[in-house]
């Protein structure tokens, strides 16, 4: 799957991923009103609004981007109907040819990790049949339980030729409370990065591993170090735009070949119509605003890479 992701990045010339993290506050009133008119102000109504919101954004941007990243918590909060909207979104994005990164941040041990891996990347046996429950192409995982928490995910990745993005240095302000702590004089995130590189050696594609890392755009100097530590791992970079990251901050996440990283923007794209820069589109044309935000993001990152 890493090969497909790289091919899509090369084809679109856009090393970006749109985070489909639909808060109800992002969904325009006319979309909510229509969904509630059909299903009432219920969990089913909220799930329908989310689905229609996602569909419009995907329809307006799929030709510009290689991948999407739905954040499962934004769907889980609406219970079973929300999870149905998550699955519907995953399937629709794949129909549109997009690579789907399930932002699920799972991590446990033994059979529990194996069950998470099967749910999101693999197949589950039901009698004599097999089913792919959520069927994303990549998933995010938390490595802080160690190798026995990660190995079951690696097993499914090898079997299904799918991929992982493992949390190494996250973009949130308090990440340093644990991730920056020194172990034998080195920050913990650097040791985790080394471990990701080791795990990645077990799942190599042509040039890059199926095992990537999550490193926040808000920490560019740390990204520079981790790029060196994990030369064969793709880096998923959250924190662009709404969290303060800009194109000029990101150049160190990329290798000299212009590959090696994919940058995420969530509310900066899906709620673009709420920003002053795209207010001219209005809520009725929120999908067009998202498309314009994608185009501007691609331009920003491309310019920064050209000037480095």
| Secondary structure string (H, E, C) spanning 222-266 | HHHHHHHHCCCCCEEECCECCCCECHHHHHHHCCCCCCCEEEEEC
As a three-state string, the secondary structure of 257-307 is: CCCCEEEEECHHHHCHHHCHHHHHHCHHHHHHHHHHHHHHHHHHHHHHHHH
Let me know if 248 is a catalytic residue. no
Class of domain 1-307: alpha beta
Provide mean pLDDT across the span 199-221.
89
Q: Considering just the CA atoms, what is the radius of gyration of the chain in Å?
A: 19
CA 62 to chain centre: 15
Q: Answer whether 252's CB lies under 8 Å from 231's CB.
A: no
Which is the catalytic residue, given 34, 105, 248, 274? 105
The string of pLDDT tens digits covering residues 51-92 is 999 999 999 999 999 999 999 999 999 999 999 999 999 999
- Bigger pLDDT: 175 vs 35: 35
Residue ranges with strand state E in the chain: 16-20, 67-70, 99-106, 124-126, 129-131, 138-141, 163-169, 182-183, 186-187, 211-215, 235-237, 261-265
Residue 242 pLDDT grade (very low, low, confident, very high; cuts 50, 70, 90): low
> What is the pLDDT, as a whole number, of residue 252?
87
Cα gap 259→63, rounded to integer Å: 20
Cα distance between residue 61 and residue 50, in whole Å: 17
- What tens digit of pLDDT does each residue of 87-134 get? 999 999 999 999 999 999 999 988 999 999 999 999 999 999 999 999
pLDDT band per the 50, 70, 90 thresholds, residue 172: confident
Q: Give the start-to-end residue ranges of the domains of the chain.
A: 1-307
- Model confidence pLDDT, tens digit, residues 251-265: 889 988 889 999 999
Query: Residues 281, 295: contact at Cβ < 8 Å?
Result: no
Global pTM reads: 0.94
Q: What is the pLDDT of residue 237?
A: 93
What pLDDT does 171 receive? 84
Percent of the chain with pLDDT strictly greater than 70: 98
Where does residue 78 rank: exposed (0-12), middle (13-18), buried (19+ CB within 10 A)?
A: buried
The mean pLDDT of 283-299, rounded to a whole number, is: 96
């Amino acid at each position: 799957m890493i090969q497909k992701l790289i091919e899509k990045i090369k084809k679109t010339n856009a090393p970006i991923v749109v985070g489909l993290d639909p808060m109800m506050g992002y969904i325009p009133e006319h979309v909510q009103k229509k969904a509630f008119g059909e299903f009432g102000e219920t969990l089913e109504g909220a799930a329908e609004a989310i689905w229609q919101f996602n569909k419009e954004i995907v329809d307006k941007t799929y030709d510009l981007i290689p991948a999407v990243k739905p954040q499962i918590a934004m769907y889980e909060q609406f219970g079973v109907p929300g999870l149905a909207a998550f699955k519907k979104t995953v399937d629709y994005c794949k129909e549109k040819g997009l690579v789907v990164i399930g932002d699920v941040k799972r991590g446990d041990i033994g059979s529990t990790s194996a069950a998470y891996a099967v749910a999101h990347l693999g197949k589950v046996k039901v009698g004599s049949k097999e089913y792919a429950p959520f069927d994303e192409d990549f998933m995010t995982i938390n490595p802080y339980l160690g190798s026995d928490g990660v190995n079951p995910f690696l097993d499914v990745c090898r079997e299904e030729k799918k991929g992982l993005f493992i949390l190494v240095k996250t973009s949130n302000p308090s990440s340093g409370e644990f991730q920056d702590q020194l172990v034998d004089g080195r920050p913990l995130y650097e040791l985790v990065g080394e471990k990701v590189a080791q795990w990645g050696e077990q799942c190599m594609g042509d040039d890059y591993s199926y095992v990537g890392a999550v490193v926040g755009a808000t920490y560019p100097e740390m990204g520079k170090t981790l790029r060196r530590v994990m030369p064969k791992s793709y880096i998923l970079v959250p924190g662009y735009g709404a969290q303060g990251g800009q194109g000029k901050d990101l150049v160190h996440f990329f290798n000299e070949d212009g590959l090696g990283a994919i940058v995420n923007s969530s509310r900066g794209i899906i709620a673009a119509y709420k920003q002053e820069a795209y207010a001219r589109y209005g809520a009725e044309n929120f999908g067009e605003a998202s498309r314009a935000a994608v185009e501007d993001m691609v331009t920003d990152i491309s310019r920064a890479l050209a000037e480095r």
